[in-house]
Structure 1
Amino acid sequence: MTQSEAMRLREEFVARLDEAMRGVPYGVANDIRRGILEELDGLDADATADRIALLGDPALIAREAQAESLNAAAAAPVVLAAAPREPVTSTRGFAIAAALALGFGGIVMPFVGWVVGAVLVFLSPLWTRGEKIVAVVAPFIVAGVSILIISLLSGFESGFEAGSSSGSSGDFDAPEVAVNPLLPTGYDLWHTALILGFVLLPASGLWLLWRLRGRAAR
């Protein structure tokens, strides 16, 4: 047999192999085809015929390749897509820290600590917008109304004392008007504001913690 005969035998076998491996995954089929061509390369016609006889029926080769590829796919570990990580601001731990910072941050670091707590509270999705506004604004409204009432009471008492003094006779010394200890002075106003700050701000943080119970990220 001539070299051209060897080439003809090789091409015919490879054509039959390609036809049989149409259902085999491309990568597997391509590896098998390349391996067989390497085995047959350089052989004369007789050696090519002998090697083809050893390789066997192309249909059988294709079935074995298909079975091996299925077994490999079944044995391959299943890689599950990693679940997206929950944002830190959506966790209960972040919400608890925010509520505590709002309630007690101003005591540890005056003003700055409270501002940080307010920002953290608004970043958490575990409270409604209304709850956040109430927690941040309500203490100042309550404190402002309380101080206003105390101021009005103090002004009324001062006016009453001035009126009593001016209405006294000039022939004799007017008796001194006793100061009512139950009515506030200017010092009392600042003292009251300080006490309200130490009471209302922690109360707002504790109220947020109470509202947080049983909630999860939205």
Structure 2
Amino acid sequence: MTETTADTLREEYLARLDEAMRGLPHGVASDIRGGIVEELQGLDAADTAARIARLGDPVAIAREAQDEVPANPAIVVAAPVAAPPAPRPPATSTRGFAIAAALTLSFGGFLVPVLGWFVGAVLVSISTLWKTWEKVVAIIVPFVFGAVSLFLVQFMSFVEFSSTGSSSGTGTPADEVVNNPLLPGFSAWHVLLLLGCLLIPASGLWLLWRLRGRVAR
């Protein structure tokens, strides 16, 4: 036999093997075919014929392989990948932070004069649960009203003191000084200042009222 005859024997056997293993899973058939190709590779015609005889009928090989294949192959199900935890919202966007900021704005100035109010104003300004106009109203309006009230109290006190001093200089007894009817009483301006101070806690409570129903964003 020639080398060509050996190739012919090998190709014919492999063709019969492929036909017999048509019903096998692709992976099993590929492994069997690859092993037989390695065994027949490089043999002459006589050795090829002898090796084919030892290997046996391709139908028997396929039947033996089929018996070893499980009827219901196990299905490997990948374990579900847990979704990464949702990122926690920043502290400035939580309701707890907003409530603390509003309360600090309302009453911080009573606990620590001036500084407490400024701390509350800063906390309110960095909270994300209020709109910009709400922050402006709660912080700027009480501050401006209180500053204007304080200025008016000081100014009117100065005017009243000047008026009293001038009357005393003309020889009019102090107990007979007639108040200028065009000027409000001194106590009225203090009431105005008190109202300005009351706007500060009221602004914080107003922010708490505006906070209802809002969540972190």
Give TM-score scaled by structure 2 length: 0.59
Give the whole-Å Cα distance in 2 for the aligned partners of 1:175 and 1:116: 50
Q: How does 1:47-196 map to 2 (within 5 A)?
A: 47=55, 49=58, 51-56=61-66, 71-73=75-77, 76-77=79-80, 79-80=82-83, 82-168=85-171, 174-177=172-175, 183=186
Give the whole-Å Cα distance in 1 for the aligned partners of 2:32 and 2:124: 70
Contact 1:40 1:51 in 2 (8 A): no
Q: What count of residue pairs does the alignment treat as equivalent? A: 185
Give % identity.
Answer: 40
- The answer for unaligned runs of 5 or more in structure 1 is 22-28, 169-173
Give the whole-Å Cα distance in 2 for the aligned partners of 1:42 and 1:125: 73
Contact 2:153 2:193 in 1 (8 A): no
Match of 2:212?
Answer: 213
Q: CA deviation at 1:140?
A: 1.4
Contact 2:14 2:33 in 1 (8 A): no
Q: CA deviation at 1:20?
A: 6.7
Q: CA deviation at 1:124?
A: 2.1
* Structure 1 residues 110 and 89: CA distance shift in structure 2, 3 A: same
Give the whole-Å Cα distance in 1 for the aligned partners of 2:107 and 2:117: 7
Q: CA deviation at 1:147?
A: 1.5
Q: Which structure has the bigger radius of gyration?
A: 2
* Structure 1 residues 92 and 54: CA distance shift in structure 2, 3 A: same
Give SS of 1:127's match: coil
- The answer for unaligned runs of 5 or more in structure 2 is 1-5, 40-50, 180-184
Give the whole-Å Cα distance in 1 for the aligned partners of 2:202 and 2:110: 13
| 4+ aligned runs moved over 6 Å, structure 1 | 37-43, 192-195
* Structure 1 residues 79 and 100: CA distance shift in structure 2, 3 A: same
Give TM-score scaled by structure 1 length: 0.58
In the TM superposition, what whole-angstrom CA distance separates every residue of 1:168-212 from its partner, at most 9, and x where no partner exists? 3xxxxx5234688x636xxx97xx969955x33322211110111
Contact 2:102 2:208 in 1 (8 A): yes
RMSD (Å) for aligned C-alpha atoms: 4.6
